[in-house]
Chains A and B, each alone.
Chain A
Amino acid sequence: MEHRAFMINMIQSELEDAVGVENVSVRPTDQLVYGVDYFWVARMWADKAQEPPKPDFIVRPGSAEEVSKVLKIANYYKIPVQTWGGGSGSQGSALAMAGGIILDIKRMNKLIDINLEDRTITAETGMVFQTLEWYANQKGYSIMHIPSCLTCGTIGGALAHRGIGIFSTKYGKIDDQCISLEVVLPNGDIINTLPVPKHAAGPDLMQMFIGSEGTLGVISKATFKLVEMPECRLFRAFLFKNFTDGLNACREIVQAMKPSIMRLFDQAETASIIKDVLGVERDGAFMNLAVEGTETIANMEMEKIFEICAKYEAEDMGAEYGEKWYENRITFFYPGHIMNNPQMFGTMDTVATFSNIEKIYWAMKHAVEDNFPGVRFIAHCSHWYDWGTMIYDRFIMDEPPEDPEEAIRLHNQIWNAGVRAAMENGGVINDHHGVGLKLSRLMKEQYGPAMQVLEGLKKSLDPNGIMNPFKLGL
């Protein structure tokens, strides 16, 4: 024990030398604070008075150069490094499951450049995404990355987990919105991806790091596209007789145009969350959407939407519910509205082609509800592509086991059943929350022999395996 304390102090002083004494902490209070992210298991574990996973050191670098110094130290001593941005991820990706260093990058929050000619904005990745969006807004622009974690997640978190915002159907995911990255590799080298995202200079280096969840390095700087604020945004809500009709109508809409928002809720979610928050007390599948841009084009698009919805005998619910949903889009995630302990819950978002999506929905619903008594399954589709859509499937268990260890096992069994049902029917392990610790074990099933490509990359860049161990299946 004394020997360990001796060594811990030696390493601590090296880390302090790299980032400043005030930016390294080994205080139990700070270690506790980093013991929980938004992952249900971490929350439940703390709620049940169990000791959360704790880092040995909390290190707060102020620049890519300081990150580089820390990674060199960590590599020498072979200490695990978990990058922590907002800590608001739901997949347990930021948790220090192997101890070691929590690298909190929130001091790296400088706005570097706004280029109105190129319509780009560049910042350090420890900046909370809302702050970046506010900087853009003050100049009359938006990044149009508006996720529910906008106010709590960082730029780095959004990139590390391939995040998505509510306007994705029109403006794309974070990987569509990003232009370039600066990354600190595990060996401490600071590299830049190519200055533009479209080229014929080999595989896309930038996309190798987006979604890497801190396993291949630390994204330290990012440049994004800026979009002019739309002249108008028109909202509308419709009620379909059932989820199937809604899916077909939405497919036709998205293959004809690009609404900025389009959210279709299954009957179970319409009868629960939509009823609670928006006051829609009706049977059927609720859908709200928005089109935007110039007034003329938005009106024309809305006209076409009416035509398609009428074909599926959808009831026009007016603009008000769509506006209300938009106003309350974040309210859904505040205490009192969002699922919370002691409930057990999880979002098994998956993505697939249109030809598979309904099959996946039913397969997941049956896998969860038929095998786990007392578990409800609700879903909505909220991000659409020309070729398919994602499903934001959630399971909820109001009375999970009291015993925390039993609860973890049941939680994982439900996840295994749901995600395997998705993957077996053409779905993908996750759409926009990432993999983290939560789904790490299923990555090999998802990728099969293709996993060796990711493993090869990992071995090459991080031979000591220090970067975010036990996450992403790597």
Chain B
Amino acid sequence: MFTKKALEQADACRFCWMCRHVCPVGQVTGKESNNARAKGFLVSMDGRGAQLDETSMEIMYECALCKACTNDCATGYDPAIFILEARTKAVVDGLVPPNVQPVIDRALAGCMYAEAEDTGLAAVIAKLPAQADVAVYLGPVARRKQPVIGMALLSLLEKAGVSYTALKEEPQSGADLGDLVGYVEDVKKAAEKCAAALKETGAGTIVVLDENDAVFMKHQWAEWGIECGQIVTATSCIASLIKDGKLEPAAVELTACYHDPARIARDLEEWEPARAIIAAMGIELHELFHNKKGTKSTGGGMLHQTSPQIAAQVAEARMNDIRFAEESVVITSTPTAFDNLSSLGAEDVEVKDLFILLNDAC
């Protein structure tokens, strides 16, 4: 069932503990099973007389796929490969844990989030043209949970004079479904459907707002040969508009730290555009100790749906980093990170979204 590549990773990880310190889930649960070593060991033992069962699969789903372990590995092994394949096996063998199945069901139906699309944002999108030079892929969190961020991004493009549009009905990119069931044919079909919808806009550039979608569309779509214009992150698009003088923010009197979204920082190695935007507003930036490629996850998207208690602990741990640095304002640049941190309701740390800040300053 597991590919040779996945088994190679598992056999390398099964007796290696070196990345334990960076696993955001293991750090908060303290469970031995919540690290790449334990997961690799379970996968390796699957072929050695101890079969993966439903409880093993619970463990496989207790992972934010933030790639901190992969980033840390000095010899380049990638635990996400066997974790994703284990999730595929869970689906195929009927071993999906009960807390995960409803999330998969929702994702298969179109979106893993239960919340309805925001009508205010939908109304804004409804007025956009069918075709434009730039298509914005807002992602499910902006469209359902944090619409103000989506509106801020669209407003910025408007102010910059960009010819842009967004999909009235935005199909899933496949990123969330991929996290849930592995990169299987159904996920590829979902990605192709999304790409086809974006192609219909005629846009040469696709601006992607959220982290999971951005990485998936840039990397996995390319691996599958799915083409639909140049995919860029929203931060890099907006930073370019500022650099080109199309957006001229007023100074914002603020001292803050910045949380690098894990997947964008690690998988795309992109962290400068957000800092350029912050600098353009004249905000005094204090770097967090765990920043850029070494950032910590706030729990991502899927984990908050499948294991909300663990995900909240992961987000709280990131918030505690901010507190330890004695910062009172943190800026985020993706709807997922904003949602994860702001939903903690911290009274001592204010969470601000980069696009909302910039839109107010322009």
Q: Using Cβ atoms and an 8 Å threshold, which residues of chain A touch B290?
A: 134
- B16 close to A (CB within 8 Å): yes
Q: How far is the CA of A382 from the CA of B13 in the complex (A)?
A: 27
Smallest Cβ-Cβ distance to A126: which chain B residue: B30
Identity of the chain B residue whose Cβ is nearest the Cβ of A84 in the assembled complex: B32
Contact with A along B13-34 (1 / 0, CB 8 A): 1111111111000110111110
Q: Is A322 located at the chain interface by the 8 A CB criterion?
A: no
Total cross-chain contacts (CB, 8 A):
116
List 12 other contacts, CB 8 Å, given A33-B33, A48-B48, A138-B324: A29-B59, A30-B32, A36-B15, A87-B32, A104-B32, A107-B29, A130-B21, A134-B289, A138-B289, A328-B74, A334-B18, A335-B15
Which residue of chain B lies nearest to A44 when distances are taken between CB atoms in the complex?
B15
Q: Which residues of B contact A30 (CB under 8 A)?
A: 31-33, 55
Are B18 and A151 touching (Cβ within 8 A)?
A: yes
Interface size on A, residues (CB 8 A): 50
Q: Does A43 contact B (CB under 8 A)?
A: yes
A149 CB-CB contact with B under 8 Å:
yes
Scan B251-270; emit 1 where CB is below 8 A from any A CB, else 0: 00000000000000000000
Contact B59 A334 (CB under 8 A): no
Interface status of B75 (Cβ within 8 A of chain A): yes
Q: Which residues of chain A are near B22, meaning CB under 8 Å?
A: 151
Q: Which of B66-85 contact A (CB under 8 A)?
A: 72-75, 77
Q: What count of chain B residues pass the 8 Å CB interface test?
A: 39
Q: How far is the CA of A29 from the CA of B56 in the complex (A)?
A: 6
Q: Taking CB as reference atom, which chain A residue is nearest B19? A: A151
Q: Is the CB of A331 within 8 A of B74?
A: yes
23 A–B pairs (Cβ distance < 8 Å), ordered by A: A28-B50, A32-B42, A32-B50, A33-B41, A46-B45, A47-B48, A49-B45, A49-B48, A87-B32, A88-B17, A109-B30, A126-B30, A128-B27, A138-B289, A138-B325, A150-B21, A151-B17, A151-B18, A152-B17, A334-B16, A335-B12, A335-B75, A340-B15
B245 at the interface (CB under 8 A from A): no
- Please give the distance in Å from B27's CB to the nearest CB on chain A: 7
Q: Which of B31, B33, B74 contacts A330 (CB 8 A)?
A: B74
Q: Mark A149-161, 1 if CB is under 8 A from B, else 0.
A: 1111100000000
Q: Are B18 and A330 in contact (CB under 8 A)?
A: yes
What 1/0 flags go to B31-67 for Cβ under 8 Å of A? 1110000100110110011100101100100000000
A286 at interface (Cβ–Cβ under 8 A)? no
Closest to A61 in B: B30
A145 contacts partner chain B, Cβ-Cβ < 8 Å? no
A109 touches B289 (CB 8 A): no
Once the chains are docked, how many angstroms separate the CA of A46 from the CA of B10? 14
A residues in contact with B59, CB < 8 Å: 29
CA gap between A104 and B74 in the complex, in Å: 27
Partner of B17, one of A47, A58, A137, A149: A149
Chain B proximity mask over A319-338: 1 for CB below 8 Å, otherwise 0 = 00000000010110111110
- Chain B residue with the shortest CB-CB distance to A131: B21
Contact for A128 among B20, B32, B53, CB less than 8 A: B20
CB of B325 within 8 A of CB of A86, answer no
Q: How far is the CB of B228 from chain A (nearest CB, A)?
A: 38
Q: When chains A and B are docked, how far (Å) is the Cα of A131 from the Cα of B27?
A: 9
Closest Cβ of chain B to A101, distance in Å, is: 14
Q: How far is the CB of B335 from chain A (nearest CB, A)?
A: 29
Q: Give Cα distance in the complex from A337 to B75, angstroms.
A: 8
List residues 183-214 of chain B with CB under 8 A from any CB of chain A. none
Residues A34 and B32 in contact, CB atoms below 8 Å apart? yes
Q: Are A104 and B18 in contact (CB under 8 A)?
A: no
Q: How near does chain A come to B198, taking the closest CB pair, in angstroms?
A: 40
Q: For residue A324, give the distance in angstroms from its CB to the closest CB of chain B.
A: 13
- Cα–Cα distance between A297 and B248 once the two chains are bound (Å): 52
- Interface-central residue, B22, B49, B59, B74, by most chain A CB under 10 Å: B74
Residues of chain A within 8 A (CB-CB) of B13 are: 335
Task: Flag if B38 contacts A33 (CB, 8 Å).
Answer: yes
Partner of B15, one of A107, A330, A341: A341
Nearest-CB residue, chain B, relative to A150:
B21
Are B30 and A107 interface neighbours, CB within 8 A?
yes
Q: How far apart are the CA atoms of A337 and B73 in the complex, in Å?
A: 12
The 10 closest A-B pairs by CB, nearest first: A106-B30, A152-B17, A107-B30, A49-B48, A335-B12, A336-B75, A88-B17, A130-B21, A151-B21, A29-B55
A338's closest neighbor in chain B, by CB?
B16
- Point out the residue from B20, B29, B75, B325 that lies within 8 Å of A151, measured CB to CB: B20
- Asked whether B30 lies within 8 Å of A60 as measured between CB atoms, the reply is yes
CA distance A134 to B15 in the complex (A): 25
Asked if A152 contacts B20 (CB within 8 A), the reply is yes
A135 within 8 A of B: yes
Q: Is A27's beta carbon under 8 Å from chain B?
A: yes
Q: In the docked arrangement, what's the CA distance between A340 and B12, Å?
A: 9
Could you tell me the distance between the alpha carbons of A150 and B27 in the complex, rounded to whole angstroms?
Answer: 15
Out of B26, B74, B289, which one reaches A334, CB within 8 Å? B74
- B45: chain A residues within 8 A (beta carbon): 32, 46, 49
- Cα A106 to Cα B17 with chains together (Å): 14
Binary flags per residue of B112-148, CB closer than 8 Å to A gives 1, else 0: 0000000000000000000000000000000000000
Q: Which residue of A lies closest to B13 (CB)?
A: A335
Beyond A138-B289, A138-B325, whether A128 also contacts B77 by CB under 8 A is: no
Neighbouring A residues of B48 by C-beta, 8 Å? 46-49
A312 adjacent to chain B (CB < 8 Å): no
Given A49-B48, A109-B30, check contact A43 B15 (CB 8 Å). yes
CB distance from A149 to the nearest CB of B (A): 7
